[in-house]
Structure 1
């Protein structure tokens, strides 16, 4: 299992809407994430800054699999309206670089 940290930013003025759409994701999106190997996904928000921690079997494989999933494609269209940075789903990135961890 991999633990991946990510950072995204909400577009100015869209914070409440971002929180609202994450109040509950659809059962279909939940199933798609789990089928792609996601065991857990937590998001913290500070103002417009979002910090994600993803527990996943294989992060790059998950991104490639979800790139072609129509449920995820629809979800990403919603996120594109709310987030500053788009996502290409190439699967090439590995999230944020770990700098330090308490042993």
Structure 2
């Protein structure tokens, strides 16, 4: 069963265009690592400096642990840490944004 996880991150001031450009060229190795970790889809929306992610994944915590030290993910996270206001520790302990309601 797939779960959908919502996340919220924030860009550093002035990092919008570099963040957009980085996501135009996601490394194939990173895409493969995400797929191997159970991610079937990852979408990102931006409003100003606010980023909203929706991730469809088999097991979110397992995915986070699998990618924590993955050789394709580590350099990507280093690059993102230059652009995001808060660094992600990839502990796998977070649960994303709490879902409050869904259309039945």
TM-score (normalised: structure 1): 0.98
Which residue pairs with 2:56 in the alignment? Answer: 55
Structure 1 unaligned spans of 5+: none
Distance in 1 between residues matched to 2:30 and 2:93, nearest whole Å = 22
What is residue 21 of structure 1 aligned with on the other side? 22
Partner SS, residue 70 of structure 1: coil
Which residue of structure 2 lines up, in the alignment, with residue 7 of structure 1? 8
Across the aligned residues of Structure 1 and Structure 2, the Cα RMSD in angstroms comes to: 0.6
- What SS does the corresponding residue of 2:55 show, helix, strand or coil? strand
The residue aligned with 2:39 is 38
SS at match of 2:82: helix
Q: How many residues align?
A: 103
Residue of structure 2 in register with 1:82 after alignment: 83
Give the C-alpha shift of residue 68 in structure 1. Answer: 1.4
- The answer for unaligned runs of 5 or more in structure 2 is none
- Indicate the structure with greater helix content: 1
Q: Which residue of 2 aligns with 1:97?
A: 98
